[in-house]
Amino acid sequence: MRQLIAGNWKMNGLRADAIALATALAAELHGDAGCDVLVCPPSTVLAAVTEALAGSAVMTGGQDCHTDASGACTGDVSAPMLRDAGAGWVILGHSERRLGYGESNALVREKVRAAVAAGLTPIVCVGETEQQRLSGNAETVVAAQIDGSVPAGFAGVVAYEPVWAIGTGRTASEDDVVAMHRCIRSQLVETLGEAGAGLRILYGGSVKPAGAAALLALPEVGGALVGGASLVAADFLAIIRAAS
């Protein structure tokens, strides 16, 4: 399966820095990058970054969207707005939103529907907290997140991001990644039928150039969702090369 390397810039990137980073990526990634490449900048610079990447192999996405297309929702950004700014993708249900803003599986599912209706491909994030892993509930929690967040007919991407591995420099062991990706695969098939067998499952959480090749070679790993390392062009490019 062709891998997807997605950069999640989170709340980082003023206009000049964002354009400089996009320009550095565009200079290296033209033609076939050997894998699919995506960056998800803040919505304020999405249009400028999309423009800087025009003609390159790098696609752009948003980091969240509202369930409605428009309306009285101060401060929110809708899926058609992301599409209008040049996005083809959107990250949904990131743990920083599930835990920081109390987003439920049901809300994430509604956002997925809104994204698809606007022509965006959703990346639905799931992952257990350290407490849930220590108490032996990691697979149950993640399976329930899939079942609750992924609507019928889902044709997007799932990202497994253990909460305790995000931004901490700790990564899940290879055995744990393989076990969880297999668990996610079987839940996707249970929820979606045969369509669930072909969807990409990314790993995320402190993915760095060192170790990326080994991680991406694991069974059922269809790419990576990269936070911190996606803000440094050389590091993000090294991860992309590890995937291609």
Among 225, 239, 240, 243, binds ligand PGA (CB under 6 A): 225
Which strand (E) or helix (H) includes residue 36? strand 36-40
Euclidean distance between CA atoms 120 and 61, whole angstroms: 8
Q: Which stretch binds ligand PGA (CB under 6 A): 46-54, 82-90, 141-149, 219-227?
A: 219-227
To the query of whether residue 161 is one of the catalytic residues in this protein, the response is yes
Beta carbon of residue 78, minimum distance to ligand PGA (angstroms, whole number): 22
**Helical spans, DSSP H, in the chain:** 15-28, 46-52, 79-84, 95-98, 105-117, 130-134, 138-149, 174-192, 212-216, 233-243
State yes or no: is 51 an active-site residue.
no
Cα 227 from Cα 123, distance rounded (Å): 14
The interface mask with ligand PGA, positions 162-201, x = CB under 6 A, is ----xx----------------------------------
207 touches ligand PGA by CB under 6 A: yes
The residue (of 154 and 203) whose beta carbon lies closer to ligand PGA is 203
d(CA 125, CA 74): 25
Q: Which of 66, 94, 128, 139 is catalytic?
A: 94
The residue from 3, 8, 63, 191 that contacts ligand PGA (CB under 6 A) is 8
CA distance 64 to 124: 10
The two three-digit tokens of residue 217, written as one number: 């070679």
Cα radius of gyration rounded to whole Å, the chain:
17
Instruction: Give the amino acid at 126.
Output: V
Residues in the interface with ligand PGA (CB under 6 A) total 13
Q: Please state the closest distance from residue 91 (CB atom) to ligand PGA, in A.
A: 8
Q: Does 209 bind ligand PGA (CB under 6 A)?
A: no
In the complex, the residues that contact ligand PGA under the rule CB under 6 A are 8, 161, 166-167, 204-207, 225-229
